[in-house]
Each structure stands twice: as C-alpha cells, then as structure tokens.
Amino acid sequence: MSLKTARPFRILALPLVRLPHGALRVSPPAGAGAAANAASGSSGSSSSSSAGGATANSSTSATQATASAGSTAADAAVAARETPLILYHVQQPAPPVSDGPPPLYQRALDRASGEWIKLGKKEEGTWMRWFFDKGEGLMDKIEFEEWSLKAIHEGQGIKIDKATGKPIGDARVTLLRPGGPAATALGLPPLLPKLHRTLLHRIPYHKKMMRRFIFFTPLTWPFAIIPILPNFPLFYVLWRAWSHYKAWRGATYIEALLKGGVITEEDSEVLGKVYAAAHEAKGKAEAEKVDKAAAAKAEEVAAAATDSPYPGLMITKAQLPALVAEFELSDGEVVDVGRAIEQADHRAKDAEKKLEAK
C-alpha cells in the first residue's frame, strides 16, 4: 500500500467568467489618427474650390470609416484577450510535526468550521439545516476574493523573515493554470501580473475595512442592555473585523512570496482536462436547451433562462468532484470554490442586465 504524499504548496488559478461590458476604450491606431489630421488639413486648404471641397470631404469620410473599422477591430481584440474573473485558490502543505500543535485559536476555528460544515449535511427541514442555510446565505454575500485570502495561513509552508520581509529557504510555490487544449480555448494571458494587481488592491482594502469595523464596535454596546437576546451585532462586527484582518495578512503573505520570486507559473494538463470537460458539458447543455426551447412555450423558456447559469461561465459546480479527486480539496475548500462559481455567475448576470438597461 503506497503512502499518501503530502500536498504541495500551490495556487490553483481557476478562471470563472469574462464579465460582459460595453465597448472598450482603446487608443485608435496611430496611422488612422495621422491620416485623419492630414485629411482635415487638406480639407481646409481646398475650401475655396467646390470640387476640391467635395474631394476632401470624401477623403475625410473614408478616413473616418477606416478609423472606425480599426477601432472596432481593436475593441474586439482587447475583449478577446481580456483576463477573466479568476479565483486564486491557495493550497498549503500541512505544518510539520516539529512545529508542535497549532495555536489554540486556530484549533478553535478549525473545530468550529468542521462543526459548521456538519450542519450542512443534516436533512432538509430540520432546524439545524435551516440555521445552516440562513448562515450560508449571509456568508455568501461576502466576496469570494476575501474568502480565498482569509483561508491562507501566514508562514505555513514557507516562512517570511520579519527583518527583511523575504522568504526563508529555497521552497517554491507553483501557480497552476489550465493547460493543454483548454489553454488555447480560454485564451489566458500570463496570470502572475494579474495576481499582483489583485493583491495590490486587496491589501489596503482589507486593512481599511478591518479598521472600519473595529471603529463601529462601540456602537453595538447598547444592544447588550437587552438581557434576553445575545448581542448579535457585536458578534457580527467582530467577526467581520477578524475576517478582514485574516484576508489582509493572507494577501500580504502572498505578496511577500511573489516579490521574493518563489512563485512560478506553470500549465497544468490535469486542470486543463477539468476545463475541457466543462466546455464539452456546456456545449451539450446548450444543444439540449435549443431542442427543448423549440417545443416549449415562450413563458417556460423565459423562466428557464433566468434559472440557468450564465452562458459564458467557464466552470460549474459539476466539475467540483473532479477538482476534489485531482487536487485533494477539503470540505471547506469545496464550499469556497462553489461559492466563487455562484458569485461569478451572479456578477456576470448583473453586468449583462446593466448593459441591457443602457
């Protein structure tokens, strides 16, 4: 019987969806701008002659049409290579036995997380399942980017020198992106710069929100006057402050690893197969949807369209079992990835509605 190998330190780059938007603002081709200026000057110099003016106007119209066509092509090119919404899911190795047991607060959090997940496995209709569903509905409103960052354990796998801020040792972290034929279909650019930009946005954001929730803590003290009910507002504010603190520290830790040059980007054939299966399943679902829509009533088709996932979704919950089998996702990680997929679906649908409303 072969021994199970330890899980490596890696980051799974999971593309979710390209958010729909209007025409992208791109700079027009330099040649088109120069030609437009030349045509404008030619038009001004020949204004004394009606024939010359007609020629200049014709030239200007042609130039503008050419520039417009070039701008449209540039818009399409930029949209095609735009980086989609991505979940950067960090997987860290288990701490070595030599480090001793984890801190007391971490053990308490792990125990609470495990008990919470058990509530989700209760039968429908029980009060425990009702309580779990209500809590999950509240937590689902928190951005998946925050969930992924707060799950990072600072210093686990690779430690950071507090004096220099640089990683200690020669360990490496692999950023896995879909490889194989799926890489061509997804059209992903290099993802390390995208990761860095995400961290540069998230670090000050979570630090600011942590301070804001701490500032509002005294405002919840009057609720303690009510002796019957627990002070839920205080618990929520403290939990959100802690959540933002963990996300801030997790983002700072990954940024230190990125600056230290220990994160390398690689194509993953296994991850590519997961996305290829998602693409094939989406094609079959679209074909079946067309066949059913031809025989269904218009009202039924419209109702089904509102419940169906966004067509541009790159991965669905149907691929979660494959991710669990190939990358050893825990129960908590499955919840985080599933939450990210749902939020990506909702964000894409909301963006599409805003475009239609314009």
- Rounded-to-integer distance, Cα 148 and Cα 194, Å: 16
- At 77, phi and psi to the nearest 5? -65, -40
pLDDT the model gives residue 272: 94
**Has residue 223 been placed in a domain?**
yes
Sequence-separated (6 or more) residues with CB below 8 Å from residue 157 = 9, 92, 93, 171, 173
pLDDT-above-70 percentage for the chain: 71
pLDDT of 260 > 80? The answer is yes
Q: Assess whether 128 and 264 both reside in one domain.
A: yes
CA angle 253, 247, 243 (to 5 degrees): 145
Helical H segments across 14-49, by residue range: 30-45
**Has residue 276 been placed in a domain?**
yes
Q: Assess whether 116 and 15 both reside in one domain.
A: yes
| Nearest to 219, CA basis, from 206, 207, 240, 237 | 237
pLDDT the model gives residue 50: 43
Q: Assess whether 108 and 250 both reside in one domain.
A: yes
Tokens of 330: 């825990």
pLDDT the model gives residue 263: 96
Range of the domain at 330: 10-24+86-357
Q: Assess whether 174 and 153 both reside in one domain.
A: yes
pLDDT the model gives residue 110: 72
| Nearest to 336, CA basis, from 144, 86, 146, 136 | 144
pLDDT of 298 > 50? The answer is no
* One-letter amino acid for residue 72 of the chain: T
- Rounded-to-integer distance, Cα 344 and Cα 2, Å: 39
pLDDT the model gives residue 355: 87
**Has residue 259 been placed in a domain?**
yes
Stronger pLDDT, 284 or 182, i.e. the higher one: 182
Q: Assess whether 58 and 93 both reside in one domain.
A: no
pLDDT the model gives residue 227: 66
Q: Assess whether 90 and 211 both reside in one domain.
A: yes
- DSSP letter for 314, please: S
pLDDT of 15 > 50? The answer is yes
Q: Assess whether 214 and 98 both reside in one domain.
A: yes
Q: Per DSSP, what are the bridge partners of residue 55?
A: none
- Rounded-to-integer distance, Cα 106 and Cα 198, Å: 26
Query: What is the average pLDDT across 164-169?
Result: 90
pLDDT the model gives residue 235: 83
Q: Assess whether 76 and 92 both reside in one domain.
A: no
pLDDT the model gives residue 99: 67
pLDDT of 7 > 60? The answer is yes
pLDDT of 208 > 70? The answer is yes
Q: What is the CA radius of gyration of the chain?
A: 27
Stronger pLDDT, 157 or 65, i.e. the higher one: 157
pLDDT the model gives residue 89: 97
pLDDT the model gives residue 69: 46
At residue 307 the predicted structure's pLDDT band, cuts being 50, 70 and 90, is low
Q: Indicate the average pLDDT of the chain.
A: 78
pLDDT the model gives residue 253: 97
Q: Assess whether 129 and 44 both reside in one domain.
A: no
Per-residue pLDDT of 40-95, as tens digits, reads 444 444 444 444 444 445 444 444 544 444 444 444 444 445 789 999 999 999 88
Query: What is the average pLDDT across 299-323?
Result: 74
Number of domains in the chain: 2
Please give the helix or strand (H or E) that residue 255 lies within, else none: helix 232-259
**Has residue 100 been placed in a domain?**
yes
Residue 21: how many other CB atoms lie within 10 Å: 12
Stronger pLDDT, 139 or 164, i.e. the higher one: 164
Q: Assess whether 60 and 106 both reside in one domain.
A: no
**Has residue 4 been placed in a domain?**
no
Of 180-189, 194-203, 260-269, which gets the smallest average pLDDT? 180-189
Q: Assess whether 38 and 122 both reside in one domain.
A: no
**Has residue 1 been placed in a domain?**
no
pLDDT the model gives residue 4: 52
pLDDT of 176 > 50? The answer is yes
Q: Assess whether 54 and 98 both reside in one domain.
A: no
**Has residue 307 been placed in a domain?**
yes
**Has residue 99 been placed in a domain?**
yes
